Amino acid sequence: MDLPFLRANPHLLPTFLAHQRLRTTPVAGGSISVAERIVLDDGTHLFLKTWPGGISAVPTAEPAPAPPGLFEAEADGLRWLRAAGGVAVPELYAQTGELLLMQWVDHADPTAVAAERFGAGLAVTHGAGAPEFGAATEGFLAGLPLDNTPGDDWPTWYREHRILPYLKLAVDAGALDPADATYIESIHIEAPTEPPARIHGDLWPGNIVWGPVDVPWLIDPAAHGGHRETDLATLFLFGGAPFSARIIAAYNEIHPLDPGWRTRIPLHQLHLLLAHAVLFGRPYRSAVLDAAAHYR
């Protein structure tokens, strides 16, 4: 069993897994999908991502198919970000409606050098641009539908296609009250007018892999044309990325930010906080309301 064969025959992966023809090891850290490390006979290490209950060798309690288009959207995003030539993105070897098979990246400790490399690379990725805000196809954010309807005015687009959809889902899930929704709907959304950037779209610190020899990698994208401040703002969520000052300094050397960008960090974080409220419930209510309070 070698990589060229698997790349040519991804549809055979379920059979190989079921009959233990491939050595697999579960990988911790995924809250939505199942991740496994595959070792081929020639010693090649690969990363396999599947939906819980799908073809994975890891047993799950309630088998269910992946949302239609989930892996296709992630594959498109990986290729699009990799083509920008900025931050490194794992090479995608195979993709079906049930799985992604890609390059394995070893983990290492983050360093100041890697952080500077990440900041500079992210500026290049963003600078590759996008035809419009949104994308030609619908996407996903941690398994939730992502409305990528194209638009050309970022404040309007962000409200209609990022804030309002997740706000409704959060209220429906009981994570927010109807009065909370009314409060959030009234916020003022603005940012410097810029052309659409090629953004990762879900760039919280857990979606950076700090690899060996000071090479950072992007994983798990919700890629689309967006405002570049969104990626930078979400880097500060959940404890923040290591060496964040080095990241921003290196970014600014290549693609300087508006001096007031930090005042908009909670605004750009709001859609991810709403998505977490949908997924994980009422504990995220206060974070959502605190972020919105800056823009009343």
Task: Tell me which of 43, 69, 103 is where a domain ends.
Answer: 103
How many angstroms separate the Cα of 220 from the Cα of each of 61, 118, 141, 177, 179? 24, 16, 9, 30, 33
DSSP assignment of 211-274 equals: EGGGEEEE-S---EEE-HHHHHHHTTSTT--TTHHHHHHHHHHHSPPPTTGGGGHHHHHHHHHH
Q: Residue 84 belongs to what domain range? A: 3-103
* Per-residue pLDDT, 57: 45
**Can you list the alpha helix ranges (DSSP code H) found in the chain?**
3-8, 13-18, 70-83, 112-127, 154-158, 164-172, 178-185, 228-234, 244-254, 265-280, 285-293
Task: Tell me which of 103, 122, 151 is where a domain ends.
Answer: 103
33 token code pair: 């999908």
Task: Tell me which of 103, 138, 164 is where a domain ends.
Answer: 103
Residues 206 and 127 in one domain: yes
* Per-residue pLDDT, 267: 98
How many angstroms separate the Cα of 231 from the Cα of each of 76, 201, 208? 18, 6, 12
Residues 45 and 136 in one domain: no
Q: Are 130 and 197 in contact (CB under 8 A)?
A: yes
Residues 134 and 271 in one domain: yes
C-alpha to C-alpha distance for 221 and 93, rounded to whole angstroms: 16
Number of domains the chain contains: 2
Q: Are 139 and 226 in contact (CB under 8 A)?
A: no
Residues 157 and 76 in one domain: no
Residues 66 and 192 in one domain: no
The 10s digit of each residue's pLDDT in 199-237 is 999 999 999 999 999 999 999 999 999 999 999 999 999
Residues 255 and 222 in one domain: yes
Looking at residue 251, which CATH number applies to its domain?
Answer: 3.90.1200.10
Residues 91 and 232 in one domain: no
233 token code pair: 């703002």
Residues 75 and 193 in one domain: no
> Is residue 75 classed as helix, strand or coil in its secondary structure?
helix
pLDDT band at 41 (very low <50, low <70, confident <90, very high): confident
pLDDT band at 183 (very low <50, low <70, confident <90, very high): very high
Residues 222 and 124 in one domain: yes
The 10s digit of each residue's pLDDT in 43-86 is 889 999 888 755 444 444 455 678 899 999 999 999 999 999 99
Place of tokens 């941690």: 142
Query: With a threshold of 0.85, does the pTM exceed it?
Result: yes
Place of tokens 């360093």: 111
Crossing angle of helices 285-293 and 178-185, in 10° steps, is 30
For the segment 279-291, the average pLDDT, to the nearest whole number, is: 97
Average pLDDT, the chain: 91
Expressed in angstroms, the distance from the first to the final Cα of the chain is 59
**Lowest-confidence segment of 13-17, 19-23, 205-209, 236-240 by average pLDDT:** 19-23
Residues 120 and 244 in one domain: yes
Q: Are 274 and 202 in contact (CB under 8 A)?
A: no
Residues 66 and 24 in one domain: yes
Share of the chain above pLDDT 90, in %: 75
Place of tokens 């296709």: 72
How many angstroms separate the Cα of 25 from the Cα of each of 98, 104, 188? 18, 12, 47
Residues 130 and 53 in one domain: no
User: Does residue 202 carry a catalytic annotation?
Assistant: yes
C-alpha to C-alpha distance for 87 and 231, rounded to whole angstroms: 13
**Which residues lie closer than 8 Å to 28 by C-beta, 6 or more apart?**
none
What is the amino acid identity at position 145? P
Looking at residue 64, which CATH number applies to its domain?
Answer: 3.30.200.20
How many angstroms separate the Cα of 68 from the Cα of each of 50, 205, 220? 13, 27, 17
Strands 34-39, 92-95: pairing is unpaired
CA-wise closest residue to 121 among 251, 253, 235: 251
* Per-residue pLDDT, 53: 57
Catalytic residue among 180, 202, 220, 231: 202
The 10s digit of each residue's pLDDT in 99-154 is 899 999 999 999 999 999 999 999 999 999 999 999 999 999 988 999 999 999 99
